[in-house]
């Protein structure tokens, strides 16, 4: 009985090692391995703003993947994040930049 248990243990260990190497390879082949791994771990967090990002990107004729990349880089999809220089939100926009954008786009009720 002991050789069977030893064999199963080695088999399970080999399968786990192969899976780890395979997932590591796939993550390394992506543009951002950390993003890929985090997305595998928590897919809902990485997809919760997709509709908003797509709408904003379409409105401003931008690639939605570019907008999503900026959001990931700046805030890691945390809408409550505050930067060290007062930047806020998903894209970490400063108050000055937001006011300039609102003025250029003639948005009167911007706060």
- Region of 4 (left: φ > 0; alpha: ψ -120 to 50; beta: rest) is alpha
Q: Are residues 57 and 92 in the same domain?
A: yes
Q: Average pLDDT of the chain? A: 88
Q: Are residues 35 and 82 in the same domain?
A: no
Q: Are residues 107 and 61 in the same domain?
A: yes
Average pLDDT, integer, range 66-72: 92
Q: Are residues 67 and 98 in the same domain?
A: yes
Question: What is the structure's pLDDT at 24?
Answer: 85
- The predicted-structure confidence for 90-108, as pLDDT tens digits, reads as follows 999 888 888 888 888 888 8
Show Cβ contacts of residue 64 under 8 Å, excluding neighbours closer than 6 positions.
50, 53, 54, 57, 58
Q: Are residues 12 and 65 in the same domain?
A: no
- Asked, for residue 102, whether it belongs to a domain, the answer is yes
Q: In whole angstroms, what separates CA 99 from the centre of its chain?
A: 27
- Asked, for residue 46, whether it belongs to a domain, the answer is no
């Amino acid at each position: 009985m002991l050789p069977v248990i030893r064999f199963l243990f080695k088999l399970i260990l080999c399968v786990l090692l192969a899976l780890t190497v395979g997932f590591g390879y796939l993550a390394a082949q992506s543009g951002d391995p950390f993003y890929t791994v985090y997305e595998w771990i928590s897919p809902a967090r990485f997809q919760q703003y997709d509709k908003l990002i797509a709408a904003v990107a379409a409105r401003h004729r931008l690639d939605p993947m570019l907008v999503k990349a900026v959001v990931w880089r700046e805030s890691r999809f945390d809408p409550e994040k505050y930067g060290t220089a007062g930047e806020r939100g998903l894209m970490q926009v400063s108050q000055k930049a937001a006011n300039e954008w609102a003025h250029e786009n003639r948005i009167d009720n911007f706060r």
